[in-house]
Chains A and B, each alone.
Chain A
Amino acid sequence: MYPEDLKYSKDHEWVKLDGNIATVGITHYAQDQLGDVVFVELPMEGDSFEAGNGFGVVESVKAVSDVYAPVSGTVIEVNEKLLESPELVNEDPYGDGWMIKLEVAGESEVDRLMDAREYEAFIEEEN
Chain B
Amino acid sequence: MKKTPLHKAHLEANAKMVNFGGWHMPVQYVGILEEHRNVRTKAGLFDVSHMGEIDIKGNRALELVQKLITNDASKLAVKQALYTPMCLPNGGIVDDLLVYRKGENHFLLVVNAANTDKDYQWIEEHAIDGVAIANISSEVAQLALQGPLAEQILQKISNKDLSQIKFFWFDYVKVDGEDCLVSRTGYTGEDGFEIYLAPDKARKVWYAILEAGKEEGVMPIGLGARDTLRFEARLPLYGNELSEEISPLEAGLEMFVKLDKDNFIGKEALEKQKAAGVKRKLVGLEMLDRGIPRTHYKVLKDGEEIGFVTSGSFSPTLEKNIGLALIKAEHARIGNKIEIQVRGRNLKAKIVKTPFYKREVK
Partner of A64, one of B31, B32, B294: B294
Note all chain A residues with C-beta closer than 8 A to B33: 36, 38, 61
Note all chain B residues with C-beta closer than 8 A to A57: 343
Asked whether, in the complex, the Cβ of B292 is within 8 Å of the Cβ of A38, the reply is yes
From known contacts A61-B33, A61-B228, infer whether A38 and B314 are also in contact, taking CB-CB under 8 Å.
yes
Partner of A35, one of B31, B316, B343: B31
Q: Taking the nearest CB of chain B, how far is it from the CB of A19, in angstroms?
A: 32
Q: Taking the nearest CB of chain A, how far is it from the CB of B302, in angstroms?
A: 25
Note all chain B residues with C-beta closer than 8 A to A62: 27, 32, 224, 227
* B313 interface hit (Cβ, 8 Å): yes
CA–CA, A60 to B36, complex, Å?
14
Residues of B17-43 contacting chain A, CB below 8 A: 27-28, 31-34
- Residue of B at shortest CB range from A57? B343
Asked whether, in the complex, the Cβ of B292 is within 8 Å of the Cβ of A39, the reply is yes
Partner of B291, one of A36, A39, A61: A39
- Residue of B at shortest CB range from A32? B16
- Residue of B at shortest CB range from A60? B32
* B116 interface hit (Cβ, 8 Å): no
Asked whether, in the complex, the Cβ of B224 is within 8 Å of the Cβ of A35, the reply is yes
A→B interface (CB under 8 Å): 35-36, 38-39, 41, 57, 59-62, 64, 83
In this complex, which of A61, A62, A83 has the most chain B Cβ atoms within 10 angstroms of its Cβ?
A61
- Residue of B at shortest CB range from A59? B292
CB<8 Å pairs between A and B, sample of 24: A35-B16, A35-B31, A35-B224, A36-B31, A36-B33, A36-B34, A39-B290, A39-B291, A39-B292, A39-B314, A41-B290, A41-B291, A57-B343, A60-B32, A61-B224, A61-B313, A61-B314, A61-B316, A62-B27, A62-B32, A62-B227, A64-B292, A64-B294, A83-B290
- Place the interface of chain B in its size category: 10 to 19
CA–CA, A62 to B223, complex, Å?
10
Note all chain A residues with C-beta closer than 8 A to B314: 38-39, 59, 61
Asked whether, in the complex, the Cβ of A61 is within 8 Å of the Cβ of B321, the reply is no
CA–CA, A118 to B163, complex, Å?
59
Residues of B327-362 contacting chain A, CB below 8 A: 343
CA–CA, A64 to B294, complex, Å?
9
- Residue of B at shortest CB range from A64? B294
Asked whether, in the complex, the Cβ of B32 is within 8 Å of the Cβ of A36, the reply is yes
Q: Taking the nearest CB of chain A, how far is it from the CB of B303, in angstroms?
A: 22
Note all chain B residues with C-beta closer than 8 A to A41: 290-291
Q: Taking the nearest CB of chain A, how far is it from the CB of B18, in angstroms?
A: 9
CA–CA, A53 to B127, complex, Å?
58
Given contacts A41-B291, A62-B224, 8 further A-B contacts (CB under 8 A): A36-B34, A38-B292, A38-B314, A39-B290, A39-B291, A61-B313, A61-B314, A64-B294
Note all chain A residues with C-beta closer than 8 A to B224: 35, 61-62
Partner of B28, one of A35, A39, A59, A64: A35
**Interface bits B86-103 vs A (CB < 8 Å: 1, else 0):** 000000000000000000
- Residue of A at shortest CB range from B224? A62
**Interface bits B287-328 vs A (CB < 8 Å: 1, else 0):** 000111010000000000000000001101000010000000
- Residue of B at shortest CB range from A83? B290
